[in-house]
Every structure is written in C-alpha cells, then in structure tokens.
Amino acid sequence: MATVPSDDVPELARGIHDMGGLPGGAVDRHEHAVTLWEKRVDALLVLLTRKGVFSVDELRNAIERLGAEAYTSLSYYERWTASIAWNLMQRGVIQADELGKRMAEIEAEGRQ
C-alpha cells in the first residue's frame, strides 16, 4: 500500500523536478565529455556563490521554476545558465535588455 498514492497529491504541488516515483524511462549512462562552456558556467557559479551574490539554493529554486517545457528540453548546464541569468537580474547585477543586447552581439560574431 503506497503511503502517498499518486492520485492523492494536489495537482499544483508537484514541481517538475520532484519526479520520485514517476515513470522515468531508461537511465542514459553514457559518459558526457564536459565542454568548455560548461566548465565556464561551473566556474561562474562557484565565483558568484563564494562572493555571496546568490546561493546554490537560489540557483535550484529558479531551476525548479523554469516551467515543465524548458526544464525537460534544457540540458543540465543550460538550466544553470538560465538560473544564473535570472538570479543576476533579480540582484540587479545585470539588466534584461543588457543581457539580450550582449547575446545578440555574440550571436552576430558567430561565437558559441
């Protein structure tokens, strides 16, 4: 007998990240070589949290709030990137239009 039957959970209570007990499909066990941009995102998060700009709990919180579509389509470090950007905007470190302008510039340069 399940302690918490799945149909007994309030509809809005389960975040997309809270997937324990749901069918998950096969686990992809392939090794993934970490790319340079992923290392940079990792380093950026370490810097930001050590300097106290925001915490890893705030990182996780924003990731949980990406919405189901974004959460499932983004890769691990893409989620981090989206959360870091959101948290930096929340803290007033960067502005949304400033970020958009810079992203357009980098895209125009053809950089990754």
Partner 1 sequence: MTASRFRAGDPVRVRRAFPPGHIRTPIYIRGASGVIERDCGDCINAEERAFGRPGLPGLPLYRVRFRQHEIWPDYAGPAGDSIEIELYANWLEPA
Interface positions with partner 1 (CB under 8 A): 1-4, 9-10, 13-15, 18, 20-21, 54-55, 57-58, 60-61, 64, 90
* Cα–Cα distances in angstroms (integers) from residue 91 to residues 17, 29, 64, 71, 108, in the given order: 24, 37, 18, 22, 28
Closest separation between CB of residue 50 and partner 1, Å?
Answer: 15
**C-beta of 9 vs 106, nearer to partner 1:** 9
| 3-state SS track over 48-69 | HHHCCCCCHHHHHHHHHCCCHH
**C-beta of 15 vs 100, nearer to partner 1:** 15
- Helices 76-90, 56-64: crossing angle, 10 deg rounding: 110
Interior CA angle at 54 toward 91 and 19, to 5°? 110
Question: Chain centroid to CA 34: how far?
Answer: 16
**C-beta of 1 vs 33, nearer to partner 1:** 1
Closest separation between CB of residue 31 and partner 1, Å?
Answer: 27
**C-beta of 92 vs 110, nearer to partner 1:** 92
Closest separation between CB of residue 59 and partner 1, Å?
Answer: 9
Closest separation between CB of residue 79 and partner 1, Å?
Answer: 15
